[in-house]
Amino acid sequence: MDRLFPLRQFVFVIVALLVTHAAVLDLKAADTDNSSQLKRPNIVWLISEDNSKHFLKLFDEHGAETPHIAALAEHGIIYDHAFSNSPVCSVARTTLITSCYGPRIGTQYHRRSKLVPMPDGLRMFPYYLREAGYYTANNNKKDYNAIEGDGVWDESSGRASWRKRAEGQPFFYKQSFKTTHESSLHFPRKTYLNEETNTDPESVFVAPYHPDTEMFRYTYARYHDRIQMVDREIGAVVKALEEDGLLEDTIIFYFGDHGGVLPRGKGYAYESGLHVPLVVRVPKNWSHLVDETIGSRQDGFVSFVDFGPTALSLAGVEVPTGIDGKAFLGKGIKSQEVASRDFAFGYADRFDEKYDVVRTIRKGKYEYVRNYQPFNMDGLQNNYRYIMLAYQEWRELFERGELNEAQSQFFRPRPAEMLFDIESDPHEVSNLAGDPEHADKLEEMRTLMSTFVSDLPDLSFYPESELAKHAFDNPTQFGKEHQKEIAKLVEIADLSLVPFDEARRGLRRALQSENPWERYWGLISCTVHGEAAKRFVERARQLAESDEEPLVRVRAAEFLALTADVAPQEVILEALKETDDGIEAGLILNSLTLLRDGEPGYEFEISEENFRPSVLKNDTVQRRLQYLSADK
């Protein structure tokens, strides 16, 4: 037995070593499994409100110095073609959080008349991050036009922070900075007279569509100051991440939520309203997820529908189906492919009480702007816009005849379609749509737009009041069920783009149609054709007097007033008195305001007595009445 003891001891030691080794392997495997769950990049979005790329020297030679944002760029990528899909807050932010085009899912109006549900089976993208183990925090602006649902944010408040997460938990943190918001330029006249700006007003560049006045220069200078203030605020957040030892584990996005905020920026579907600054800082520990050269500029086009899937891609989370965007960073996404992207879609509908239907396509160096109701001039009253003294002065100078052609465009009816070469005309004052040398490009862009809005499908070819009644309970389903009808309405709207002789038969059919919305768009196209469409005056009189749809009667009165000098007051005031729908009344009041403030300038006597009590509860109606009842 004694002779076997060394052998037994040896066997025991060997077994013990094998067990220990197996345990170590199990622990290593467990560590690997845990790291696959926990080792994900943190993602931070820092969003400045209401500023286009034109106000940062990093993107435009005339912009303000932003050293903290520039420092992000030194360790990341500058995106020279980043676009908000809409030039106003709630619509842009809803596009960001849903990754869906607003006119497809019913979120295109600001302020919303009704919260709409998300498309069936789809959630706001932070939900998917949270399900994958991320701590999601929003500080703190939401402003969504869609129903949020549960499980999107762990916290959304003015105190939200990544510091409240569990130890080692990856996080998605979003912070908005209101320092540059439009309201920062709603200063009173005494401020203009008594408070100096840090930026020298004589040093600023004034866009060619603005009058070069002391007021505009002061407003520009004040906004440059705000840009520099928000740069410091962004720097403070980056410093906090660094102090927490998180900077090299965190992918930081800085961008503006849409353009603005000098006049003809926020709220208007031009480059000044849609083209935003975007910088992405890439941390050392996650540079393998980014196929870009650090410190470089990316020329490919990205827009807000792409930001959600990009966050999911970087986090290694599956991107859901049913969205409109496409990731531009993450594993397997190549810089060369992103650089080949050259398309961005934009939209502007009712913003506050000002109604419109504008769609844009930026493709390569060209922007195509489709004004579906071009008689609604850009400068039509929007109460919130005209709080700004620069807006007020601009309109006063126009009314006194003291503006040049480029400066006057804002207050005149627009062409139904506009084509701009952004490389040679970055401020979009020279419309190439009538230039024979660009006829082929115009036709290409026109066809691209018509196909795109038909295929989407774009719900705005129905009035908002109709959507509120029949679509907003499930907008995407409504769009699918009515896609053929929408395509027909697009076709009728596009009759305004061809010579009248080519459009005549189609317009006649539309005006005789049993479908009220075909009659509606037929009248709009007739209004665009103007004098040439006078042969339809008698049919328009019939529609104005007796059409069963109030909005058709109003469009008929609008056509008659603008084309044949037929007084519109009786038809419009009767439609206002008849309706019990505040949304519908808001659209009617838009036509009234246009006909009163534009040429030839019809007088209207209007007060709360013209409305049913239920209609007066509508905010849009109240804003219009506030303006219309004031002394002009």
CATH number at residue 115: 3.40.720.10
Q: Is the pLDDT of residue 16 over 70?
A: no
Give the Cβ contact number of residue 373 at 10 Å.
23
Q: Return the SS3 of 68.
A: helix
Summarize the confidence of residues 271-296 as an average pLDDT.
98
Q: Is the pLDDT of residue 480 over 80?
A: yes
Cα 151 to the center of its chain, rounded Å: 25
Q: Range of 24's domain?
A: 1-39
Catalytic annotation present for 526: no
Helix (H) or strand (E) holding 554, with range, is helix 550-564
pLDDT at 234: 99
**Contact in structure between 224 and 64 (CB atoms under 8 Å):** yes
Does residue 619 lie in a domain region?
no
Helix (H) or strand (E) holding 630, with range, is none
pLDDT at 32: 33
Give the Cβ contact number of residue 254 at 10 Å.
28
pLDDT at 25: 39
Structural domains in the chain (count): 2
Task: Verify that 109 and 239 share a domain, yes or no.
Answer: yes
Looking at residue 332, its amino acid is: G
Please report, rounded to a whole number, the percentage of residues in the chain having pLDDT higher than 90.
Answer: 94
Tell me which residue of 414, 363, 347 sits closest to 209, measured CA to CA: 414
Does residue 503 lie in a domain region?
no
**Contact in structure between 320 and 128 (CB atoms under 8 Å):** yes
Quick one: pLDDT band at residue 91, thresholds 50, 70, 90?
very high
Give me the chain's average pLDDT, please.
Answer: 95
3-state helix, strand, coil in the chain (%, to 5): 50, 15, 35
Task: Verify that 6 and 91 share a domain, yes or no.
Answer: no
| E strand segments, 389-523 | 417-421
Does residue 570 lie in a domain region?
no
pLDDT at 22: 41
Task: Verify that 34 and 168 share a domain, yes or no.
Answer: no
Q: Is the pLDDT of residue 486 over 80?
A: yes
Task: Verify that 150 and 2 share a domain, yes or no.
Answer: no
Q: Is the pLDDT of residue 17 over 50?
A: no
Task: Please tell me the distance from the alpha carbon of residue 226 to that of residue 229, in angstroms, as a whole number.
Answer: 5
Summarize the confidence of residues 223-232 as an average pLDDT.
99
Task: Please tell me the distance from the alpha carbon of residue 572 to that of residue 555, in angstroms, as a whole number.
Answer: 9
The string of pLDDT tens digits covering residues 207-223 is 999 999 999 999 999 99
Last residue of one domain, picked from the residues 342, 358, 374? 342
Q: Specify whether the backbone of 114 is left (phi greater than 0), alpha (psi in -120 to 50) or beta.
A: beta
Q: Return the SS3 of 465.
A: helix
Summarize the confidence of residues 197-211 as an average pLDDT.
99
Last residue of one domain, picked from the residues 311, 342, 373? 342
Task: Please tell me the distance from the alpha carbon of residue 236 to that of residue 218, in angstroms, as a whole number.
Answer: 28
Does residue 387 lie in a domain region?
no
Task: Verify that 22 and 73 share a domain, yes or no.
Answer: no
**Contact in structure between 278 and 96 (CB atoms under 8 Å):** no
**Contact in structure between 289 and 86 (CB atoms under 8 Å):** no
Task: Please tell me the distance from the alpha carbon of residue 286 to that of residue 592, in angstroms, as a whole number.
Answer: 57
List 72, 89, 221, 583, catalytic entry: 89
Does residue 76 lie in a domain region?
yes
Task: Verify that 64 and 194 share a domain, yes or no.
Answer: yes
DSSP state of 616: G
Does residue 505 lie in a domain region?
no
Give the Cβ contact number of residue 182 at 10 Å.
23
Summarize the confidence of residues 88-95 as an average pLDDT.
99
Does residue 366 lie in a domain region?
no
Last residue of one domain, picked from the residues 342, 371, 396? 342
Q: Is the pLDDT of residue 35 over 90?
A: no
Question: What are the C-alpha distances in Å from 256 to residues 56, 180, 227, 333?
Answer: 11, 10, 11, 24
Task: Locate 175 and state its tokens.
Answer: 């912070």
Summarize the confidence of residues 611-620 as an average pLDDT.
97
Task: Locate 118 and state its tokens.
Answer: 């998300």
Tell me which residue of 144, 145, 394 sits closest to 268, measured CA to CA: 394
Quick one: pLDDT band at residue 303, thresholds 50, 70, 90?
very high
Task: Please tell me the distance from the alpha carbon of residue 512 to that of residue 507, in angstroms, as a whole number.
Answer: 9
pLDDT at 2: 45
Q: Is the pLDDT of residue 29 over 80?
A: no
Q: What is the dihedral of CA 323, 329, 332, 338, to 10 degrees?
A: 90
Q: Is the pLDDT of residue 108 over 80?
A: yes
Summarize the confidence of residues 439-443 as an average pLDDT.
99
pLDDT at 631: 63
Own/partner contacts of 117-122, CB < 8 Å, gap of 24 or more, are: 117/146, 117/147, 117/473, 117/474, 117/475, 118/146, 118/147, 118/149, 119/322, 119/475, 119/476, 120/322, 120/474, 120/476, 120/477, 121/320, 121/322, 122/98, 122/320, 122/322, 122/323
Task: Verify that 35 and 45 share a domain, yes or no.
Answer: no
**Range in 19-33, 167-181, 450-464, 466-480 the model is least confident about:** 19-33
Q: Return the SS3 of 418.
A: strand
**Range in 22-36, 130-144, 381-395 the model is least confident about:** 22-36
Task: Please tell me the distance from the alpha carbon of residue 267 to that of residue 52, in angstroms, as a whole number.
Answer: 12
pLDDT at 75: 99
Summarize the confidence of residues 316-329 as an average pLDDT.
98
Q: Is the pLDDT of residue 276 over 90?
A: yes
Please report, rounded to a whole number, the percentage of residues in the chain having pLDDT higher than 70.
Answer: 94
pLDDT at 5: 40
Task: Verify that 292 and 210 share a domain, yes or no.
Answer: yes
pLDDT at 7: 41
Task: Verify that 67 and 206 share a domain, yes or no.
Answer: yes
Summarize the confidence of residues 273-289 as an average pLDDT.
98
Q: Is the pLDDT of residue 435 over 70?
A: yes
Task: Verify that 230 and 171 share a domain, yes or no.
Answer: yes
Does residue 200 lie in a domain region?
yes
Q: What is the dihedral of CA 502, 504, 507, 512, to 10 degrees?
A: -140
pLDDT at 4: 41
Q: Is the pLDDT of residue 10 over 80?
A: no
Summarize the confidence of residues 137-144 as an average pLDDT.
97
> DSSP states of 235-304 as a string?
HHHHHHHHHTT-GGGEEEEEEESS---STTSTTS-SHHHHEEEEEEE--GGGGGG-BS-TTEEEEEEEEG
pLDDT at 520: 99
Task: Verify that 11 and 55 share a domain, yes or no.
Answer: no
The string of pLDDT tens digits covering residues 336-372 is 999 999 999 999 999 999 999 999 999 999 999 999 9
pTM reported for the whole predicted model: 0.93
Report residue 138: phi and psi, to 5°.
Answer: -125, 125
Task: Verify that 31 and 106 share a domain, yes or no.
Answer: no
Summarize the confidence of residues 183-197 as an average pLDDT.
98
Summarize the confidence of residues 66-83 as an average pLDDT.
99
